[in-house]
Amino acid sequence: MEIRASTVLPARREPIELNTSDGLTLVGELALPAERPPVATLICLHPLPTHGGMMDSHVYRKAASRLPALADLAVLRFNTRGTTSERGTSQGQYDHGEGERFDVAAALEFAEFHDLPHPWLVGWSFGTELTLKWGRDPLVEGAVLLSPPLRRAGDADLAAWAEFGRPLVALVPEFDDYLQPEEALKRFAAVPQCEVVPVEGAKHLWVGEPYVRIVLNEIVRHVNPAAHPLPTEVPEP
């Protein structure tokens, strides 16, 4: 059976709530391998909610649909403060990436409390800025950035991540609206442990199944190399 855009593979999926230190409840979902413990964990930080970003943004929805089964990964998705998806609306209001520091901390605390192994942050657009600004927690083993704009997060945050020392991977679309590969290579040179991956033909929103597969494969290549490359077909159920 070919894996298509709509494919949902077996997993244990459960609705979750995250509680922030400033008193908000955030809604989310945890997807786990169906029959085995996860070998690592993805904590997904979504694109800008004022422009439609949410936990169900398509790359993250497909990660949760596929990676527990194909790569033994736990996938934790949630709506940052004030963000709505099919799962519901998280309390609070969008805070331009500042109050969201408490949302990132709540997700990491959830992962720690539930013994989710080897957490990696996966940020997309606005989520990359939350990752760089607020993701430098000792629990974090590394981070993957999808379409980083490097606007709210700037040179000081890059310098801080360089000092943090954890692996950093930046997937940069050839035709990104905000930061394209040539400039990204210059900016991320401030982080010696960063790998910049230019993606030919891609745009900021990673529309199209070929680009989703590139993203998911790059995530798995770093987080669970034993499962790379991902299959494009699975046995019929």
Q: pLDDT class for 236, splitting at 50, 70, 90? A: confident
Per-residue model confidence as pLDDT tens digits over 83-101: 999 999 999 999 999 999 9
Residues with Cβ < 8 Å from 81, sequence gap 6 or more?
A: 20, 24, 26, 90, 91, 92, 93, 94, 95, 99, 100, 102, 103
Per-residue model confidence (pLDDT) at position 237: 78
Residue 6 lies in a domain: no
With respect to residue 5, please indicate whether it lies within any of the assigned structural domains.
Answer: no
> What's the confidence (pLDDT) of residue 207?
97
**Is residue 234 assigned to a domain?**
no
Q: Is residue 52 part of a domain?
A: yes
Residues 6+ away with beta carbon under 8 Å from 73 = 33, 38, 39, 40, 41, 42, 67, 220, 223, 224
Query: Could you tell me if residue 236 is inside a domain?
Result: no
Q: What is the pLDDT of residues 178-202, one digit of tens each?
A: 999 999 999 999 999 999 999 999 9
Give domain status of residue 237, yes or no. no
**For the domain that residue 67 is a member of, what is the CATH number?**
3.40.50.1820
Domain that holds residue 171: 12-227
Domain assignment of residue 214, yes or no: yes
Residues composing the chain: 237
The H-or-E segment that residue 195 falls in is strand 194-199
- Look at the chain and report how many structural domains it folds into: 1
- Tens digit of each residue's pLDDT (9 = 90 or more) over 46-86: 999 999 999 999 999 999 999 999 999 999 999 999 999 99
In tens, the pLDDT along 102-143 reads 999 999 999 999 999 999 999 999 999 999 999 999 999 999
